[in-house]
Structure 1
């Protein structure tokens, strides 16, 4: 794990691709895209049934490491319309001790009443102190923005011309874009500019790329 300080608050970047706000005890997760596996299977893609459960196992792993009071999804929690994965999600939510919140994304088209019936609080955007929580990246004067949507990744070159593409936390002066959490989501390669910080996510650790 790697810690970064923003506006005098401490945020821990975790190998699960999630971020824990120490002072508020909030775990942030972006772009899970639940339902995508079932969507692919419905349309004939050879994705194993076990992949449906994998995201929920990974969610449990992410939450267990920090015992948050709140789990905040930064949009695209579900990939599309209702399918069999909603039933798994209902059971997963029922087992959680933390408050579940959702900042809605462009893929979140399921009727909000479904989420509200599970006790999930929903927001189009959310402001906590000097932090702006959105799905799509947004610049707003006086605020630091946490968001998702982009599925950020970075291309690393090694000896022997090896090239690796890895997910990352992408930090700009007033913004931090979280990596996509879900399986089968892919990465969009970003090119850092002067002053940007790139935190590469590996299965074991999060590494600041110099």
Structure 2
């Protein structure tokens, strides 16, 4: 279910949900949940199962129960678009969690920061903690290791008999970790690893180092 790695002499736990836990700081990082996307597409006639909405919140609950973090840091695109019926579900979820919630705003986060702040969620463009730069879009900044989202990274695995499998992944370079999309109704953008890349593929219940 998890894989533990060291970054900048700190311990990070990669979870099969796509979340990342910073052990020393007790912070969970989650990227690209895209809450509200299911309701948005259903409103416009797409046949997306209603149960997908519940799966997003169930997965959030499972991660919080597993790590019991002091803080939850959403690395952008928490909500897909404007407020819709899923906002109340999110508001209820925030109310019942004991963790401090932080949103690093992404390109889809067009809901007013005031609306988030009214329910206790702190909103910012980026955040620096020790030697780590937290952003939505991937950034390169000298002396800082970047934790980010936005890309929805995936890896293409080839097997015998011309079998091919696309899986979401954590995509790590020397100075950056791109988190997979957490939301259940999101796509995958396949990245090509270099010799220095570390790719941790996510199956249904495991995190596996593949390169």
Give your verdict on TM over 0.5: yes
**Deviation per CA, 1:56-106, whole angstroms, max 9, x where unpaired?**
011101111111000110000000001000010110100101001100000
Alignment of 1:95-134 (within 5 A): 95-134=96-135
Q: Is the 8 A contact 2:52 2:185 kept in 1?
A: no
Distance in 1, Cα, partners of 2:171 & 2:86: 30
Asked if residue 74 in structure 1 is aligned to residue 108 in structure 2, the reply is no
Partner of 1:188: 189
Partner of 1:59: 60
Partner of 1:94: 95
Shift of 1:54: 1.4
SS at match of 2:67: coil
Distance in 1, Cα, partners of 2:154 & 2:209: 13
Distance in 2, Cα, partners of 1:170 & 1:52: 26
Partner of 2:144: 143
Shift of 1:176: 0.2
Distance in 1, Cα, partners of 2:165 & 2:124: 36
Distance in 2, Cα, partners of 1:135 & 1:33: 13
RMSD, aligned CA: 0.6
Shift of 1:192: 0.3
TM-score, normalised via structure 2 length: 0.98
Distance in 2, Cα, partners of 1:108 & 1:95: 22
Distance in 1, Cα, partners of 2:62 & 2:23: 18
Shift of 1:108: 0.1
Find runs of 4+ consecutive structure 1 residues off by over 2 angstroms.
none
Alignment of 1:171-186 (within 5 A): 171-186=172-187
Asked if residue 12 in structure 1 is aligned to residue 16 in structure 2, the reply is no
Partner of 1:33: 34
SS at match of 1:164: strand
Shift of 1:194: 1.5
Show structure 2 runs of 5+ residues with no match: none
Distance in 2, Cα, partners of 1:19 & 1:6: 12
Tell me the number of residue pairs that the alignment of Structure 1 and Structure 2 aligns: 210
